[in-house]
Amino acid sequence: MKITKAVFPVAGMGTRFLPATKASPKEMLSLVDKPLIQYVVEEAVDAGIEQIIFVTGRSKNSIEDHFDRSVELELLLERKGDTKKLDLIRHISEMCEFSYVRQKEPKGLGHAILKAKNLVGDQPFAVLLGDDIIHTEKDPAIGQLIRVHEQTNSPVIAVERVPENEVSAYGVIDPESAEGRLNKIKGMVEKPPLDKAPSNLAIIGRYILSPEIFDFIESTAPDAQGEVQLTTALNDFLQHGPIYGYEFEGTRYDAGDKLGFLKATVEYALRSDKLGDRFRSYLSSLET
Q: Are strands 132-135 and 251-254 parallel, antiparallel or unpaired?
A: antiparallel
Q: List the x/- string, 37-76, binding to ligand UTP by CB under 6 A.
A: ------------------x---------------------
Q: Is 254 in the site for ligand UTP (CB under 6 A)?
A: no
Pick the closest to residue 205 from 137, 159, 143 (CA basis): 159
Q: Is 151 in the site for ligand UTP (CB under 6 A)?
A: no
Q: Is 204 in the site for ligand UTP (CB under 6 A)?
A: no
State the Cα–Cα distance between residues 156 and 5, nearest whole angstrom: 15
Pick between residue 55 and residue 233 the one whose CB is nearest to ligand UTP. Answer: 55
Residues in the chain: 288
Shortest Cβ 259–ligand UTP spacing (Å): 13
Q: Is 114 in the site for ligand UTP (CB under 6 A)?
A: no
Helices (H), the chain: 36-46, 61-66, 71-80, 83-94, 109-114, 117-120, 141-152, 213-218, 230-237, 258-271, 276-287
Pick between residue 12 and residue 250 the one whose CB is nearest to ligand UTP. Answer: 12
Q: Is 129 in the site for ligand UTP (CB under 6 A)?
A: yes
Give residue number: closest CB to ligand UTP.
12
Pick between residue 141 and residue 269 the one whose CB is nearest to ligand UTP. Answer: 141
Pick between residue 19 and residue 180 the one whose CB is nearest to ligand UTP. Answer: 19
Q: Is 217 in the site for ligand UTP (CB under 6 A)?
A: no
Tell me how crowded residue 35 is: count the other CB atoms within 10 A of its CB.
21
Which residue(s) pair with 247 in the sheet?
159
Contacts of 218 (CB under 8 A, 6+ apart): 114
Pick between residue 34 and residue 107 the one whose CB is nearest to ligand UTP. Answer: 107
Q: Is 107 in the site for ligand UTP (CB under 6 A)?
A: yes
Pick between residue 59 and residue 272 the one whose CB is nearest to ligand UTP. Answer: 59
Q: Are strands 30-31 and 34-35 parallel, antiparallel or unpaired?
A: antiparallel
Q: Is 15 in the site for ligand UTP (CB under 6 A)?
A: yes
Which residue(s) pair with 134 in the sheet?
252
Pick between residue 47 and residue 53 the one whose CB is nearest to ligand UTP. Answer: 53
Q: What secondary structure does DSSP assign to 74-107, as a single string? A: HHHHHHHT-HHHHHHHHHHHHSSEEEEEE-SS--
Q: What are phi and psi of 279, to 5 degrees?
A: -70, -40
Among 4, 16, 50, 275, binds ligand UTP (CB under 6 A): 16
Q: Is 95 in the site for ligand UTP (CB under 6 A)?
A: no
Tell me which stretch binds ligand UTP (CB under 6 A): 116-124, 128-136, 238-246, 279-287: 128-136
SS3 at position 171: strand
Among 3, 6, 14, 235, binds ligand UTP (CB under 6 A): 14
Pick between residue 143 and residue 256 the one whose CB is nearest to ligand UTP. Answer: 256
Q: Is 135 in the site for ligand UTP (CB under 6 A)?
A: no
State the Cα–Cα distance between residues 95 and 42, nearest whole angstrom: 8
Using CB under 6 A, list all residues that contact ligand UTP.
9-17, 55, 103, 106-109, 111-112, 129-131, 256
